[in-house]
Amino acid sequence: MKNLIKNFGLFFLIFLIIAVGFSVIEEGKVKNERVGIQEFVNQIEDEKIESVVIRGGEMEVVLRDGQKEIVKKEVGQTLTELLYDLGVEKEKISKINIDVKDSEGWQFWLMNILPFLLPFLLIGGFVYFMMRGVQGANSKAMMFGQSQAKESGNDPNKRVTFKDVAGVKEAKEELKEIVEFLKFPKKFLDLGAKIPKGVLLLGSPGTGKTLLARATSGEAGVPFFHISGSEFVEMFVGVGASRVRDLFKKAKKNTPCIVFIDEIDAVGRKRGAGLGGSHDEREQTLNQILVEMDGFDQNINIIVMAATNRPDVLDSALLRPGRFDRQVVLDNPDIADREAILKIHARKKPLAKDVSLRKIAERTPGFSGADLANILNEGAILTARRNKKIITMDELFESIEKVMLGPERKSRVITVKEKKITAYHEGGHAIVAHFLPNADPVHKISIIARGRAGGYTLKLPTEDKHMYTKREYIDEIAVLLGGYLTEKEIFGEVTTGATSDLRRATSIARRLITDYGMSEKLGPRTFGEKEEMIFLGREIHEQKDYSEKIAEQIDEEIAGFIKLAEGKAKEIIKSKKDVLEKVVARLLKTETIEREEFEHLVGKKK
């Protein structure tokens, strides 16, 4: 539309210029008097004429007294012929200075034809521009079925290799094999080995799946065709399938290469399981992917990589041999990997000497690679906002909390009373965590609002943990209840600030029984079949695979676990009130307490 307006504007401008041009030419002529042929002949007879300049059908006549006039004649006829015909004497004619200027030339055309032609030209031009606009839109519609796959990987500036991916050792090891296949396929084919076609990268969001796929192509030095599963799912049925076709067509022209289908779960969900609309479309797209993967034979050196964080929902046809039979799992990084990832992302950032990436790695268990990259980025932004030149530990710690909990909201107005309640609430969490042997040590307490939380107590395991015991869970529940119980103990009533604590405590207690088999009474089994149903978005549906009677027992057990944890927490809050008061007083004064200071106040954790 914008284009159309622009074109139209341009057109209008040209029109204006032409019109002005015309009027100028006309103007020049208006000054000269127009006379008829007879008058002209009379003037010749009277020898009044000095010279004549003939331009096509017009003659500019200059009289001896300096006056000028315009005389029209027929175009085809020459002046002499005309004058003979009118019976003018030869002698008189020869006295006139006759000059013929490119008689039938451009001016003639301009003067005579253009006025007629111009409207047609204008209309024609307008129609042309209109058509072009429509055609543009049309051709876009025609492009719809083509894949929007972006080819990259050959640009040496943006090339990523395994060096840019920290950690994920096993995954890299697996992918090195793929690199070999791409580089030296003959080596394998000669031995009769089948080159794998598909590699599926599995890992939670931000673990570097996309990055690793790109790095594989960089390492092998082959083109990389990248498309995201969600791009397949469009408004029109059939578009996805045609995009797949197009994608593979492009890839086949560029072998060896990697085709990367990001977020394949968007199309590769179990077929026939969904409710709702777009599901036919997904099925077609998925079928097309399968057809294409089966279609090219061993000699064509295309490796199809795909990534997902939901392997559980993938259609089993995708995972069959000959398709995505290689599966590479990317874990969240452990402490050493976290440090390595931080190092990679710190490469181009000026860090102060006191910055210890190890310390940051210690503080960030459970963070993904993307989170870690984000910490350094936020740190840099914060440093810039503080008008400093180098990033210090201060900014980085701040960023960790920002990434974890959302930005600090110092401006949130809280009353003195609210501040006091928050201080007791967080202090309660902290001392319960401190005095329970199986709870993680406290790293920081703060009563500054952050994200949606009014305050927070940050406690972190001393090392990365993958397994938890029942005791640890019970202590965890006790710590969660610590805030609530302290409010109750001190003020005699509770506030809404404890909602999310209670919800989490309850959910942990339930999982202990239904998922982990940690209840003595109900024994080693799970309760409830979790199944994902897709209807208007995402929804986890739990299917009850137990009786009402068991349901009652589960409820009782949940209550029992919570009671147990509550008892533990209460005892600490009552017996360590003096320590609590110390912590609260400090919190009200400084609003945050770091680990060292906390230990100074309450002693080292046993």
Q: Which partner, ligand ADP, Mg ion, Zn ion, none, binds residue 261 by CB below 5 to 8 Å per kind? A: none
Q: Provide the residue count of the chain.
A: 606
- How many CA atoms within 13 Å lie on the side-chain side of 40? 25
Q: Taking Cα atoms as reference points, which of 92, 258, 267, 74 lies closest to residue 179?
A: 258
- Long-range contact set of residues 524-527: C-beta below 8 Å, sequence gap at least 24: 527/554
Smallest distance, Zn ion to C-beta of residue 405, A: 12
Q: Which stretch binds ligand ADP (CB under 6 A): 35-43, 94-102, 166-174, 567-575?
A: 166-174
Q: Does 395 bind Zn ion (CB under 5 A)?
A: no
Q: Taking Cα atoms as reference points, which of 148, 305, 319, 302 lies closest to residue 213?
A: 305
DSSP 371-436: HHHHHHHHHHHHHHHTT-SSB-HHHHHHHHHHHHH--B-TTS---HHHHHHHHHHHHHHHHHHHHS
Question: Strands 257-262 and 224-228: what pairing?
Answer: parallel
Smallest distance, ligand ADP to C-beta of residue 157, A: 16
Q: 224 or 473, CB closer to Zn ion?
A: 473
Q: Does 427 bind Zn ion (CB under 5 A)?
A: no
Smallest distance, ligand ADP to C-beta of residue 349, A: 13
For residue 406 the two structure tokens come to: 């959302």
Say how far apart CA 256 and CA 223 lie, in whole Å. Answer: 7
Residue span 38-77 as binding mask against Zn ion, x where in contact by CB under 5 A, dash where not: ----------------------------------------
Smallest distance, Zn ion to C-beta of residue 445, A: 11
Given a contact cutoff of 8 angstroms between Cβ atoms, the answer to whether 63 and 39 are in contact is no
CA distances 364 to 203, 392, 428, 460, 464, Å, are 18, 17, 23, 8, 10
Smallest distance, ligand ADP to C-beta of residue 419, A: 37
| 240 annotated to a ligand binding site | no
For residue 546 the two structure tokens come to: 């137990």
Q: 96 or 165, CB closer to ligand ADP?
A: 165
| 204 annotated to a ligand binding site | yes
Q: Taking Cα atoms as reference points, which of 256, 600, 251, 572 lies closest to residue 437?
A: 572
| 483 annotated to a ligand binding site | no
Residue 61: strand pairing partners: 52, 69
Q: Does 364 bind ligand ADP (CB under 6 A)?
A: no
* Rounded (10°) CA dihedral 187, 192, 197, 198: -90
Q: Does 240 bind Zn ion (CB under 5 A)?
A: no
For residue 136 the two structure tokens come to: 């543009």
Q: Which partner, Mg ion, Zn ion, ligand ADP, none, binds residue 501 by CB below 5 to 8 Å per kind? A: Zn ion
Q: Which stretch binds ligand ADP (CB under 6 A): 162-170, 175-183, 276-284, 470-478?
A: 162-170
- How many CA atoms within 13 Å lie on the side-chain side of 281? 18
Given a contact cutoff of 8 angstroms between Cβ atoms, the answer to whether 106 and 88 are in contact is no
Smallest distance, Mg ion to C-beta of residue 302, A: 21
Q: 324 or 456, CB closer to Zn ion?
A: 456
Q: Does 165 bind ligand ADP (CB under 6 A)?
A: yes
- Cβ contacts of 341 within 8 Å, gap of 6 or more: 166, 167, 333, 369, 372, 373
Smallest distance, Zn ion to C-beta of residue 600, A: 23
Smallest distance, ligand ADP to C-beta of residue 137, A: 34
Smallest distance, ligand ADP to C-beta of residue 160, A: 9
| 205 annotated to a ligand binding site | yes
Q: Which partner, ligand ADP, Zn ion, Mg ion, none, binds residue 483 by CB below 5 to 8 Å per kind? A: Zn ion
The three-point CA angle 190-191-193 to 5° equals: 105
Subset of 276-295 contacting ligand ADP (CB under 6 A): none
Count of CB atoms situated within 10 Å of the CB of 507: 12
For residue 574 the two structure tokens come to: 């009552």
Q: 253 or 538, CB closer to Mg ion?
A: 538
Q: Does 398 bind Zn ion (CB under 5 A)?
A: no
Q: Which partner, ligand ADP, Zn ion, Mg ion, none, binds residue 588 by CB below 5 to 8 Å per kind? A: none
Residue span 203-222 as binding mask against ligand ADP, x where in contact by CB under 6 A, dash where not: x-xxxxxxx-----------
Residue 100: strand pairing partners: 54
Residue selected from 44, 96, 166, 244 as contacting ligand ADP according to rule CB under 6 A? 166
Q: Which partner, Zn ion, ligand ADP, Mg ion, none, binds residue 339 by CB below 5 to 8 Å per kind? A: none
Read off the amino acid at residue 194: K
Residue span 365-384 as binding mask against ligand ADP, x where in contact by CB under 6 A, dash where not: ----xx--x-----------
Query: Contacts with ligand ADP: how many residues (CB under 6 A)?
Result: 18
| 206 annotated to a ligand binding site | yes
Q: At what angle do helices 393-405 and 369-385 cross, to 10 degrees?
A: 120
426 counts as catalytic? yes
Q: Does 329 bind ligand ADP (CB under 6 A)?
A: no
Helix, strand, coil share (%) of the chain residues, nearest 5: 55, 15, 30
Given a contact cutoff of 8 angstroms between Cβ atoms, the answer to whether 428 and 580 are in contact is yes
Q: Is 265 left (phi over 0), alpha (psi -120 to 50) or beta?
A: alpha
Residue span 468-487 as binding mask against ligand ADP, x where in contact by CB under 6 A, dash where not: --------------------
Say how far apart CA 293 and CA 112 lie, in whole Å. Answer: 68
| 345 annotated to a ligand binding site | no
Q: Does 344 bind ligand ADP (CB under 6 A)?
A: yes
Of 398, 426, 487, 557, which one is the catalytic site residue?
426
Q: 131 or 336, CB closer to ligand ADP?
A: 336
Smallest distance, ligand ADP to C-beta of residue 230, A: 13
Q: 210 or 486, CB closer to Mg ion?
A: 210
Residue span 486-505 as binding mask against Zn ion, x where in contact by CB under 5 A, dash where not: ---------------x----
| 425 annotated to a ligand binding site | yes
Residue selected from 88, 314, 341, 490 as contacting ligand ADP according to rule CB under 6 A? 341
Q: 206 or 229, CB closer to ligand ADP?
A: 206
Under DSSP, the state recorded for 492 is S
- Cβ contacts of 439 within 8 Å, gap of 6 or more: 432, 433, 459, 472, 475, 476, 478, 479
Report the binding-site residues for Zn(2+): 425, 429, 501
Report the binding-site residues for ATP: 203-210
Report the binding-site residues: 203-210, 425, 429, 501
Where in the sequence numbering do the catalytic residues fall?
A: 426
What is the contact surface with ligand ADP in residues (CB under 6 A)? Answer: 165-168, 203, 205-211, 307, 341, 344, 369-370, 373
What is the contact surface with Zn ion in residues (CB under 5 A)? Answer: 483, 501
